[in-house]
Amino acid sequence: MRNANPRDVQIASIATNTTLIRSRSWTRLRFEIEYALAKGTTSNCYLIEGDQTAIIDPPPETFTQIYIEALQNVLDFQKLDYVIIGHFNPNRVATLKALLERAPQLTFVCSVPAAANLRTAVGEQVKVMEMRGKETLDLGQGHVLKAIPIPSPRWPSGLTTYDQQTQILYSNKLFGAHVCGEEVFDEDWDILKEDQRYYYDCLMAPHASHMKAALEKLSDIPVRMYASVHGPLVRYGLIELNKAYQQWSVSQTEREVTVALLYASAYGNTSTLAQAFGLGLTKGGVAVESINCEFAQPDEILAAIEKSDGFIIGSPTIGGNAPTPIHTALGIVLTVGDIGKLAGVFGSYGWSGEAFDLIEGKLRDAGFKFGFDTFKARFKPSDKTLKECEETATDFAQTLRKARKLRLTQPAATPMEQAVGRIVGSVCVLTAKLGEVTTGMLGSWVSQATFDPPGISLAIAKDRAVENLLYPGSKFVLNIIGEGNQQDYVKHFRKSFAPGEDRFNNFPTASADNGGIILTDATAYLECSASKRMECGDHWVIYATVDNGKLLQPDTVTAIHRRKAGNHY
């Protein structure tokens, strides 16, 4: 049940001497791809009270005031000994300073990369305990904490913490979900699967090789609970989620085509764009080697470039130029000199954007070909901008995959595939709208699924732009096309659209009650609500209930899509 306040703090005991202090945002927190499902989020902090007291993962500055007020009701600040930081983020510095002001005796516990950032942000005089992986922190009463670094391109300072007494792994960003609710634990873990998968695809998939390494580090630890920084604590579905992370990570790293995603970020905006590019590449069916050039060694960048089929460079513009780490990465790319690799450039800027011209110019002069026009976003990217990023990256991935297929001998359809191809479906155009984002696709894999309530099933390829607008609770319109004018729709919706292009130009439309788009010369339309979603091979199968609909042309026969084989559309 949704809380009336947009933000609040929930406090609950979760184990011996261990308390959850959860800052909750019941509405979407910010413009980032990972929050696109708009189910709110939580920032989970943990208090362990042995003979000494430690706090793990204080929340960002948006929660500082209400968090401090809640914390002082359960803790004497004079008895706070340690603050453990699972990853460093500038947006948490305000909270760290507030804690230090009230408890000047405390010591920060973090990874080596986080320690350097912390001293810069808070002050050189701050007391820091650096954890390299072998150290432990004994809080007394059996609470011996072991720190396990799990660095990745997005979180180079990543650190998990394991309490031997409670067997809780404070997993920081791992195993989370952006869902806000009253539930402390994942009692309905099966329902959370979709949110956990979306969270993984957005945050973990672009550096799946690092996820595999992290899971290997954690594999021998006897864990009974994952206490992540976002979402419900994982207790009931722990084994299933762990297996899923392993399967998803292996699936990502074993893809035939690889893209190196190289970026640096000044104020977080280019990093947000890189996140959207990573999701789009993942949807496009390629493996992504994400490299944060601010923290990567030259040999790591070189290895990623050499094994990639294409690369994308993202940069901010600082003082009319690209930052030094991007110059280093660009130099490595030019040194390798393999102009057969498809290139792309993106980034954010405030006023001028000279960095893009510099990067693109040097690549063009070297003879590289580009998979898309340089993507430039001014200041903080909006929902619409991030969707265009995602679609641009998906198109880039599809271009690489098609090029690979052309190099290989295409086998003829087997008798079985020819037989599958004889299954026919009605020609439909599915339209969806979320905020400023509108999209549509041609579809024929649609069937009625239930009588009561009236429901349909449809299959959506994973690389379709509309795919992540079809999670449970989403609204869409299914426009059923009649014979006579179906070729206009088939020709139009089969073509490749530029990211952000108006899919419905030159077609008469109207707005549906659910906010979707009705094609007014269709034979009928259905207003639908996505209810369930299941991953099936290279498609998502969606079950949706029909909320409303109308027969627009009673005398028109529904157009049918016929195929010769079942191995392609």
Better-scored residue on pLDDT, 352 or 1 = 352
- Condensed to tens digits (0 to 9), the pLDDT of residues 385-395 reads 999 999 999 99
| pLDDT for 31 | 65
Residue 84 shares a structural domain with residue 197: yes
> Mean pLDDT across the chain, nearest whole number?
91
Mean pLDDT of 473-483: 92
Mean pLDDT of 400-411: 74
Question: CATH code at 312?
Answer: 3.40.50.360
Mean pLDDT of 124-137: 93
| Assigned token pair, 6 | 């947009």
460: left (phi over 0), alpha (psi -120 to 50) or beta: beta
Mean pLDDT of 235-254: 94
Question: CATH code at 112?
Answer: 3.60.15.10
Residue 220 shares a structural domain with residue 345: no
Residue 390 shares a structural domain with residue 436: no
Q: Quickly state the pLDDT bin for 505 (edges 50, 70, 90).
A: confident
Question: Does residue 568 form part of some domain?
Answer: no
Mean pLDDT of 307-326: 92
| pLDDT for 406 | 67
Residue 246 shares a structural domain with residue 261: no
Q: Quickly state the pLDDT bin for 34 (edges 50, 70, 90).
A: confident
Question: Does residue 569 form part of some domain?
Answer: no
- β-partners of residue 509 are 519
Residues 6+ positions from 294 with CB-CB distance below 8 Å: 156, 264, 265, 323, 325
Query: Rounded to whole angstroms, how far apart are CA atoms 336 and 304?
Result: 11
List the single range of 1-5, 55-59, 202-206, 322-326 with lowest mean pLDDT.
1-5
Residue 271 shares a structural domain with residue 372: yes
Query: Rounded to whole angstroms, how far apart are CA atoms 478 and 123?
Result: 58
| pLDDT for 198 | 92
| pLDDT for 463 | 86
Mean pLDDT of 163-179: 96
Mean pLDDT of 339-344: 94
Among residues 407, 428, 453, the one where a domain terminates is: 407
Question: Does residue 308 form part of some domain?
Answer: yes
| pLDDT for 418 | 82
Reduce the DSSP state of residue 61 to 3 states and report it: helix
Residue 464 shares a structural domain with residue 502: yes
Is residue 293 within 8 Å of 325, Cβ to Cβ? yes
Better-scored residue on pLDDT, 352 or 481 = 481
Among residues 372, 407, 442, the one where a domain terminates is: 407
Q: Quickly state the pLDDT bin for 351 (edges 50, 70, 90).
A: confident
- Condensed to tens digits (0 to 9), the pLDDT of residues 416-443 reads 878 877 788 899 999 998 878 888 888 8
Question: CATH code at 451?
Answer: 2.30.110.10
Residue 242 shares a structural domain with residue 332: no
Residues 6+ positions from 342 with CB-CB distance below 8 Å: 309, 310, 311, 368, 369, 370, 371, 396, 399, 400, 403
- Condensed to tens digits (0 to 9), the pLDDT of residues 83-120 reads 999 999 999 999 999 999 999 999 999 999 999 999 99
Question: Does residue 304 form part of some domain?
Answer: yes
Mean pLDDT of 17-23: 97
Domains identified in the chain, total number: 3
Query: Rounded to whole angstroms, how far apart are CA atoms 28 and 43?
Result: 13
Nearest Cα to Cα of residue 164 among 207, 223, 219: 223
Residue 122 shares a structural domain with residue 237: yes
Domain that holds residue 100: 7-251
Share of the chain above pLDDT 90, in %: 68
| pLDDT for 459 | 93
| pLDDT for 274 | 93
Residue 303 shares a structural domain with residue 172: no
| pLDDT for 408 | 60
Query: Rounded to whole angstroms, how far apart are CA atoms 432 and 136?
Result: 51
Residue 386 shares a structural domain with residue 465: no
Reduce the DSSP state of residue 315 to 3 states and report it: coil
Asked if the model's pLDDT at residue 409 lies above 80, the reply is: no
Question: Does residue 230 form part of some domain?
Answer: yes
| Assigned token pair, 336 | 């390798």
- First-last CA distance in the chain: 42
| pLDDT for 391 | 92
Residue 484 shares a structural domain with residue 513: yes
Q: Which amino acid is at 216?
A: E
Q: Quickly state the pLDDT bin for 53 (edges 50, 70, 90).
A: very high
Asked if the model's pLDDT at residue 4 lies above 60, the reply is: no
Better-scored residue on pLDDT, 562 or 365 = 365
Question: Does residue 241 form part of some domain?
Answer: yes
Asked if the model's pLDDT at residue 350 lies above 60, the reply is: yes
Share of the chain above pLDDT 70, in %: 97
| pLDDT for 1 | 46
| pLDDT for 29 | 60
Asked if the model's pLDDT at residue 567 lies above 80, the reply is: no
Among residues 236, 251, 266, the one where a domain terminates is: 251
Residue 290 shares a structural domain with residue 234: no
